[in-house]
Chain A
Amino acid sequence: MQRGLDRARAWAHPRVDASSLVILRVFVGLLVCVSALRFVARGWVSELLLAPSFHFHYWGFAWVRAPGPALAYGLFAVLAAASLALAAGVRVRLSALICWVAFTYIELIDLTYYLNHYYFITCLLATFVLLPPRPDADGRVSRAKLTLVRVQVGLVYVFAGVAKLGSDWLVHAQPLRTWLAQHADLPVVGAWLDEAWLAHLASWSGLGFDLLVVPALLWRRTRKVAYAAVVGFHVITGLLFPIGMFPWFMIGCATIMFAPDWPRRFMALNLESGGHAPTKPRLEQALAGLAGALLVVQIALPWRALLYPGSMLWHEQGFRFGYRVMLIEKVGFVEFRVHDRVSGDRWTVAPHAELSALQVKMMSTQPDLIAQYARHLATRLEHEMPGADIEVRADVFVAFNGRPHARLIDPQTDLAATRAGLAAKPWILPAPTTDPP
C-alpha cells in the first residue's frame, strides 16, 4: 500500500510546463463569456428563465429559486466579467469560483435546460477552483494537476464513445440516419446524406472517434491527425446539428492533450512564467484530492444507469450526468388527466398553458419531469380549489429513434402520489420491442 502511494507520488511529482493549462483557461474563460453574452443577446434570459411561471428542479435542489429580472441579468453580467477575468488570469481561483457559482446556479434553475456540455463546463470550472490553471512559482505545474485536468476533458469523449455501444447506434445508425437526412438539401454532399450507408459510416466513425481520440491526441505521432479530426468532427457536427457552443468548447479543450509546452513551441508564447507560490501546501493537496474525488464521481455516475431495468434510451433513468451525447431522436405527446376525488370531476390539462414550448418538449419524453409536473399540478389545483383532493394521470406517447410511438407511462398511475427520488420507477412502461426502420 505504502509502496503504491510512494510510486504514485513519484509519478505525480515531476514538474511540467504550465502553458497548455494557461491556454485552456483562456479558451474556457473566453467561451464562457461568449456563451453568457449569447444567452442574453438571444433573449433566452427572458424566454427561458424569467417568462415560465414554473421551473423543473433537479432532485435535491427544489430550494433553488428562479431569479427576478435584475438578479438574472446581473448573474449573466457577473458571469461574463468573471470569465473574462479568468481568461486574463486575474485572481484565477476567485474568478473561477465566481464563474462556477454563477454558472451552476443558472443551470440549477430548470432541469429541462440540462445539457451535457453545461454539465461538463460546471465540472471543469469546479476543477479550476480546486486546481487553479496557473503556473506555480517556478513557472510550472505538477504533472498530477495537468493529468487531472486532462482526465476531466477526456471523460467527455470516452463516455460519449461508451454510450454509443448499442444496437440503435451501431446496427440501425439511429439517430444519425434521421438527422443526416434532414440536410439532404445541402450543396454537393446533400445527396449523400440521405443514404443509409453514410449514416452507418458516420455512426461507426463517430464511435471510433470518441473512443480513440484521447489516446490519439496524447500520442505525439498521431496528435496532428487526431486534432485535425477533432476540428473536422466538431465543425461538421456544429454545422449540421443545433448543439450551440459545444463544438467550440471541445475544440479548445482538446488542446490540453498536447505536450504541456505546445504554446511556447508553436505560438512562441511566454505565458505567465512568474507564478503563484502556494501558501498552504496541505490545503492545496486536500483540494487536489477533492478534484480527484470529483473525477471519481463523474466516472461512477454514468454506470448507475445499469441499475435500472430496461432500455435507458427509453426510460432515461440514470441518463443524465453521463456524457451521453446525441444518442436519441425522441418526440413525445403528453396530456394530463385530472380527477378530483372529492367532487368526482374529471378533466384534462394540456401543459402548454403553463409551460414554455421548450419545457413541454423536454418534459414530454422524460418520465421524472412528467411526474414532477403532475405533482405540481395537483398542488396548484388543490390550492386553487380548496377542499379538492387531486389525482393526476398522464397519457404520454413517445416515439424514439424512428420507432412507432408507444405509451411511456402507465395511464392508471396517479403521478401526483409518486415521490421524487432515484429508485426505479415502476410506472414507466417497457420500451417498444420493434427495431427502428
Chain B
Amino acid sequence: MNDRSRSKSVLVGVVALVGLSFGALVACPANQEPDRRAELLASLVEAQFIPTLGEASERGEALHTAATALCSSPDAAHLDAAQDAWWQLRAPWKRALAIPLGPIIDDGFDMAIDFWPLRPSSVEGGVAAGVSSQAELDALGVASKGMPAVEYLLWDPLAGDEAVLAALTGADGPARCAYLELLTADVALRLAELDDAWRDDYATQLVGAGTSETYPDLALAIDAIVNAMIAGLHDLDDMKLAKPLGLTSASGADPELVESRISDRSLTDARDALAGFEAAYLGTDDGGLGLTILVEQRNPDVDAKIRAELEAAKLALAAVPEPLRLAISSDAAAVEQAQVAIKQVRISMTADVASLLGVTVSLSDNDGD
C-alpha cells in the first residue's frame, strides 16, 4: 500500500467513525429527563415575580391613599388604616426583595424604596426643610425617603399612637403630613416604575432566556436566579440579623440596625423574606414552579438537604421572641440560632446547588482554564 492509498484509508476510516458516531447519536433513544429550565423561568416570572411586584404596586397605591386620608382627618382610625396599609405593603415587598434581581438592583429600586438602616435625622431633615414637591424630594438622598421613612412618621415605639397623632396635628403637623403624603406617593411611584420595568422588559428577557439580549443562553438566566436567591439569604442572615446582633463587628449588639424596628415588624419582615426564598425554591401552592425541580433532577439528596435546612430555618426564626430590637439583647442565643440556620441554607445554596447546576458567582470569560 503506498502513502496515498494509506492516507485514503485513514480518511475513509475517520469518515466512517464520524458517520457511525452520528448514527449512534441520532438512533440512541432520548431517555434523559427533560430540560425544565425554560419552564422554570417562565413560571417564576409569571406565577411569582410579576404577581408579587403587581401586588406591591397596588399596596403602594393603597398606602398613599391611606396616608392622604390620615392627613385629611388625623385620627386614630385613619392612623390605624395607614399603619395597616404600610404593614400590608411590606409582605409582597419583602418577598420580592428576597430575590434581588434585574431592575430591583440594577436600577437602584431597592435603595430608593427600602433604604436600611433607618436614619431618623434624615427624615426629620426632610420635614424641617418643608419639602412639598416631588422635585424637591427627588433632590434628597435615599436615607430621607422610602418605606422606612414612612414607618418613622407613622409609629412611635416609645410614646405610642397618640404621640404620632399629636405630631401630625401639632405646630409642624402640616409640614409633617405634607412630607408623609409626598413620601407615600414616591413609594407608590417607584413601585409602579419597578413593576413596569419588569413587565415591559426584564420579564421578557428572563422568559426569553436562550435568545434574549440579556440572557443569550439559559445557563446565564439560571445563574442570575440562583445568585439572587443567595444574595437574598445573605441580606437576611448577615445584614438583618448578624449585624444588629453584633456578630460582624467588635462593637456589640445595636438595635438601631434592626430593620423595621419602629413598627416592630422586624421578625415579620424576616419571615416574609424567607417566604420569598421558599417560594422561589419550592414553588407555590397554586402550581408555580421552584428551583427544586432542577436540583431534585440532578441530585435528590441535595434537594432534600435544602428542604430540611429551610424548614429548620423557619422553625428557628419562629422561635425568636418579639420584638427583635429587644431579642438581640434579651435572647441573643435564639436570634443567633435563627441567623446560623438561615446561613446554613445559604452555604448549601452557594456550595451544593451552585456546584450542581454549574452556577458561577461572577461569570467572566477571564476564568475557566
Q: Are the C-beta atoms of A402 and B351 separated by less than 8 Å?
A: no
Q: Are the C-beta atoms of A185 and B351 separated by less than 8 Å?
A: no
Chain A positions 317 through 343: 1 when the CB is less than 8 Å from some CB of chain B, otherwise 0: 000000001100111110000001001
Q: Are the C-beta atoms of A361 and B250 separated by less than 8 Å?
A: no
Q: A115-B367, A184-B35 are in contact. Are A330 and B355 (CB under 8 A)?
A: yes
| Bound complex: CA A348 to CA B347 (Å) | 15
Partner of B38, one of A185, A331, A345, A437: A185
Q: A191-B30, A244-B366, A326-B369 are in contact. Are A399 and B247 (CB under 8 A)?
A: no
A272 close to chain B: CB less than 8 A: no
Partner of B363, one of A242, A350, A398: A242
Q: A242-B368, A397-B347 are in contact. Are A194 and B35 (CB under 8 A)?
A: yes
Chain A: CB-nearest residue to B343: A335
| Smallest beta-carbon distance A399→chain B, Å | 4
Q: A179-B358, A185-B37 are in contact. Are A225 and B250 (CB under 8 A)?
A: no
* Known pairs A246-B369, A405-B347 / 4 extra A-B pairs, C-beta < 8 Å: A113-B366, A244-B366, A358-B362, A405-B351
| Bound complex: CA A181 to CA B34 (Å) | 11
Interface centre among B25, B35, B246 (most CB of A within 10 A): B35
Q: A333-B346, A361-B360, A398-B351 are in contact. Are A340 and B250 (CB under 8 A)?
A: yes
Q: Are the C-beta atoms of A331 and B298 separated by less than 8 Å?
A: no
Q: A362-B367, A402-B299 are in contact. Are A331 and B362 (CB under 8 A)?
A: no
Residues of B within 8 A of A361 (CB): 360-362
Q: Are the C-beta atoms of B368 and A326 separated by less than 8 Å?
A: yes
B315 close to chain A: CB less than 8 A: no
A236 close to chain B: CB less than 8 A: no
Q: Are the C-beta atoms of A329 and B365 separated by less than 8 Å?
A: no
Please name 28 pairs of A and B residues whose Cβ atoms are closer than 8 Å in the assembled complex, sorted by A. Answer: A42-B366, A48-B366, A115-B366, A115-B368, A115-B369, A178-B355, A178-B357, A181-B298, A184-B35, A184-B218, A185-B219, A191-B30, A225-B10, A241-B368, A246-B369, A332-B351, A333-B347, A333-B350, A340-B250, A348-B248, A358-B362, A358-B366, A360-B361, A397-B347, A397-B351, A404-B305, A405-B348, A405-B351
Residues of A within 8 A of B14 (CB): 225
Q: Are the C-beta atoms of B367 and A347 separated by less than 8 Å?
A: no
| Smallest beta-carbon distance B208→chain A, Å | 12
Chain A positions 178 through 220: 1 when the CB is less than 8 Å from some CB of chain B, otherwise 0: 1101111110001110110100000000000000000000000
| Bound complex: CA A192 to CA B26 (Å) | 9
| Bound complex: CA A190 to CA B30 (Å) | 11
| Bound complex: CA A226 to CA B74 (Å) | 84
| Bound complex: CA A340 to CA B250 (Å) | 9
Chain A, interface size: which category?
35 or more
B20 close to chain A: CB less than 8 A: no
Partner of A331, one of B246, B350, B366: B350
Partner of A347, one of B32, B249, B354: B249
Q: A178-B358, A331-B361 are in contact. Are A345 and B367 (CB under 8 A)?
A: no
A58 close to chain B: CB less than 8 A: no
| Bound complex: CA A182 to CA B364 (Å) | 16
A349 close to chain B: CB less than 8 A: yes
| Bound complex: CA A83 to CA B352 (Å) | 43
Q: A329-B358, A347-B248, A397-B351 are in contact. Are A243 and B368 (CB under 8 A)?
A: yes
> CB within 8 Å of B: which of A384-421?
385, 397-405
A222 close to chain B: CB less than 8 A: yes
Q: Are the C-beta atoms of A331 and B354 separated by less than 8 Å?
A: yes
Please classify the interface of chain A as helix (H, G, I), strand (E, B), loop, or mixed, using the class held by over half of its residues: mixed
Q: Are the C-beta atoms of B361 and A357 separated by less than 8 Å?
A: yes
Chain A: CB-nearest residue to B361: A361
Q: Which 5 A-B pairs have the closest CB atoms?
A: A405-B351, A357-B362, A399-B355, A242-B365, A345-B250
| Smallest beta-carbon distance A38→chain B, Å | 10
| Bound complex: CA A333 to CA B233 (Å) | 13
B11 close to chain A: CB less than 8 A: yes
| Smallest beta-carbon distance B335→chain A, Å | 14
Q: Are the C-beta atoms of B35 and A190 separated by less than 8 Å?
A: yes
Q: Are the C-beta atoms of A221 and B368 separated by less than 8 Å?
A: no
| Bound complex: CA A293 to CA B360 (Å) | 38
Chain B: CB-nearest residue to A358: B362
Q: Are the C-beta atoms of B35 and A404 separated by less than 8 Å?
A: no
Chain B: CB-nearest residue to A225: B14
Chain A positions 152 through 191: 1 when the CB is less than 8 Å from some CB of chain B, otherwise 0: 0000000000000000000000010011011111100011
Q: Are the C-beta atoms of A358 and B25 separated by less than 8 Å?
A: no
A298 close to chain B: CB less than 8 A: no
| Smallest beta-carbon distance A224→chain B, Å | 8
A116 close to chain B: CB less than 8 A: yes
Q: Are the C-beta atoms of A405 and B7 separated by less than 8 Å?
A: no
| Bound complex: CA A360 to CA B354 (Å) | 15
Q: Are the C-beta atoms of A183 and B368 separated by less than 8 Å?
A: no
Q: Are the C-beta atoms of B35 and A243 separated by less than 8 Å?
A: no
Q: Are the C-beta atoms of B248 and A400 separated by less than 8 Å?
A: no
A25 close to chain B: CB less than 8 A: no
| Bound complex: CA A180 to CA B318 (Å) | 41
Q: Are the C-beta atoms of A347 and B368 separated by less than 8 Å?
A: no
| Smallest beta-carbon distance B81→chain A, Å | 41
Q: Are the C-beta atoms of B361 and A183 separated by less than 8 Å?
A: no
B174 close to chain A: CB less than 8 A: no
Residues of B within 8 A of A303 (CB): none
Residues of B within 8 A of A400 (CB): 355
Residues of A within 8 A of B32 (CB): 191, 194-195
Partner of A185, one of B33, B218, B352: B218
Interface centre among A42, A185, A343 (most CB of B within 10 A): A185
| Smallest beta-carbon distance B67→chain A, Å | 37
Chain A: CB-nearest residue to B299: A437
Q: Are the C-beta atoms of B365 and A399 separated by less than 8 Å?
A: no
Residues of A within 8 A of B238 (CB): 350
Q: A194-B32, A194-B33, A397-B351 are in contact. Are A182 and B369 (CB under 8 A)?
A: no
| Bound complex: CA A116 to CA B369 (Å) | 6
Residues of B within 8 A of A340 (CB): 250
Chain B positions 273 through 307: 1 when the CB is less than 8 Å from some CB of chain A, otherwise 0: 00000000000000000000000001101100100
A375 close to chain B: CB less than 8 A: no
| Bound complex: CA A222 to CA B28 (Å) | 30
Q: A184-B35, A195-B32 are in contact. Are A402 and B356 (CB under 8 A)?
A: yes
Residues of B within 8 A of A224 (CB): 7
Residues of A within 8 A of B360 (CB): 361
> CB within 8 Å of A: which of B228-281?
234, 238, 242, 246-250
Residues of B within 8 A of A360 (CB): 361
| Bound complex: CA A420 to CA B35 (Å) | 45
> CB within 8 Å of B: which of A9-53?
42, 44, 48
Q: Are the C-beta atoms of B369 and A117 separated by less than 8 Å?
A: yes
